[in-house]
Chains A and B, each alone.
Chain A
Amino acid sequence: MKLRLLLTLSACLALFAAAVLVGQSLSGPQGAFIVWQLRLPRVLVGALVGATLALVGAVFQALFQNPLATSDTVGTTAGATVGALAALAFDGSRTVQGLPLVTVCAFIGALGASSLVASFASSRRAHSSDVLLAGIAVTLATSAFASGIQYVSDSRALFAATQWALGQLPQVGYRGVLLLLPVCALSSMALLLLTRHLQAFALGEELAHSQGVNVPRLRLLALGLGSLGVAACVAWCGPIAFVGLIVPHLVRLLLGPSYRVLLPMSLVVGAAFLVSCDLFARLVVPGRDLPVGIVTAALGAPALVALVARTRR
């Protein structure tokens, strides 16, 4: 177990290093610029986003006792999309306090949709399955709203919306790192403090209740904290599919299901997963950056099927 943990950690470290170092030759001042101002901040943002999405996925799966639950299922991503589309339809180039309007609106949309679901989740009568259903309902309603915005948008805004919806980590400089770090760190650290609560969910939420877990409060906390982190990530990078779904299952297969390992290691493996997907996106078509969302989805979907097949055997 210790050995596996060490191997996983070193593999992740190697992937981070590769993401910074692999590519065209890095001599001279131009090389230094590429490493320090382009690649490193992009890797750091990728690591923050991947870690947050993966941890939140693991937490939501525990919370809803459903292996398919992620931040996409509770309306966060759909809310961000509506916000972003509205901003793009209005004026994609506008900024608020130096931040792109798209980012600000996506953040507000994500938090708005999640708080709808969270307010439902904090009701004492609601069961986890009801909350998941509410999440799916909010997601569907919000997506319909997004389609409505697209219908009335002009072609330039539509193109920008499509680009945004693919999910990307294009970074120059450290602005994204500085913006995301405090939010992601707060959300992740606070979620890790809920490990014991979530472990008590192992035999169902009624038993967790009888063992002393305040179930509605736990739901509200986990949903609120998780959505906060994800909202920041989605607002900055667009929706990046499958990280929250794949990584927790991958960690379970590698290191077992104990939440004391699963939650912190989802952070590490999630970071390495997204960074290496982005490395792949950077290298696969020479001279062009693919949006990383395409890679995570293209790798993620078959990986998920393979994982499920393996666990069933």
Chain B
Amino acid sequence: MAELEFLTLSVKIGERVLLERVTLRVERGDFVALIGPNGAGKTTLLKAALGLRTPTSGSVQLSGQRLSALDARSRAAEIAWLPQHIRADEPLTGLETVAAARFRFRESHAQSQQAAARALARVGASDYAARRVTELSGGERQRVAFACLVAQDAKTLLFDEPANHLDPAQQLEVYRLLAQLWREGRTIVCINHDVNLLNHLGNAERVRVVGLSAGQIAFELPLSDDALPEQLGALFGVEMDALRIGTAQRFIVPRARSQS
């Protein structure tokens, strides 16, 4: 049974088409990297999976059940989300913020706090437990939101450009955590602008790269596939080169346009 399935899903706002008949099956334990130009519909696809965007036609299924038939808490047990932008208007501490993410569990406040402390430790953010989220930097706040995602403990995890605006060390740390969660058997769908970061996951032949363009799926290939550079080039409208470092790692980089 697919953990997450989009069935000929279309999302339109007025005349504007955000997603057009997207069909995608995500099996348990899959890692799907969504890639595509800005405005291709990547975030809309994640939001549709969460029920934050209502389909114009088609449907989303979670573990074989229609998303619209699930109550909010059951949905939260299936699927969780790390958004790209995290707003923080309430000056709560990191620990309280993460404890609040345990909403789907019917447990005591003390239990929520213990789980929150574990989640913060797991993502290396224990230092932010007592600090106000409004006073944290963007990267630090994102780490707290990552802990929220871990604390929610859902089967499928959605990430919207988790490495955006992070320095290289933090980017590596995020992908180390992603790899860890994946190895534990979580299903992951991750929007990603830089395919090369996916190398840090290992298991390149099991990472499914899905190209999205103008609301439709343009291609789907394993990360290790030889045709990937060419497909990415077509997706972004630039020429791509594949560089190999050693035997294991392949980097895909845009070719510099000749200056004449």
Contact = CB atoms under 8 A, between A and B. Distances in A.
B126 interface: no
Contacts of A67: 89
Interface string B60-91: 00000000000111011101110100111111
Contacts of B133: 202-203
B103 A213 contact: yes
B237 to A, nearest CB: 31
Given A202-B90, A202-B92, A211 B109 contact: no
A211 B80 contact: yes
Range, interface on chain B: 35 or more
A255 to B, nearest CB: 12
A74 B86 CA distance: 27
B178 interface: no
Contacts of A208: 103
A156 interface: no
Given A202-B88, A203-B97, A212 B81 contact: no
A14 to B, nearest CB: 29
Given A196-B103, A210-B81, A257 B72 contact: no
B92 A212 contact: no
Given A202-B97, A212-B72, A212-B73, A258 B92 contact: yes
A62 interface: yes
Interface string A195-235: 01101111110111111111000000000000000000000
A158 to B, nearest CB: 42
Contact of A258 (B51, B80, B96, B148): B96
Contact of B71 (A204, A209, A214, A257): A214
A220 B75 CA distance: 20
A65 interface: yes
A208 B83 CA distance: 12
A117 B252 CA distance: 53
Contacts of A62: 90
A199 B92 contact: yes
Contact of A210 (B71, B79, B86, B90): B79
A203 B87 contact: yes
Given A202-B90, A212-B75, A260-B109, A207 B104 contact: no
A202 B102 CA distance: 13
Contacts of A2: none
Interface in A40-98: 62, 65, 67
A134 B61 CA distance: 34
B145 interface: yes
A200 B103 contact: yes
Contact of B101 (A197, A209, A211): A211
Interface string B89-116: 1111100110111011000010000000
A211 B104 CA distance: 7
B45 interface: no
Contact of A209 (B72, B87, B90, B145): B72
A175 interface: no
12 contacts: A196-B103, A200-B100, A203-B145, A203-B148, A206-B50, A210-B76, A211-B104, A212-B104, A214-B71, A252-B91, A257-B91, A258-B92
Interface of B: 47, 50-52, 54, 71-73, 75-77, 79-81, 83, 86-93, 96-97, 99-101, 103-104, 109, 132-133, 145, 148, 152
Q: Which 7 A-B pairs have the closest CB atoms?
A: A212-B76, A212-B104, A214-B72, A199-B100, A202-B90, A212-B73, A210-B81
Given A199-B92, A203-B133, A207-B83, 10 more contacts: A124-B54, A200-B100, A200-B103, A202-B133, A203-B86, A203-B145, A210-B50, A211-B148, A213-B72, A258-B92
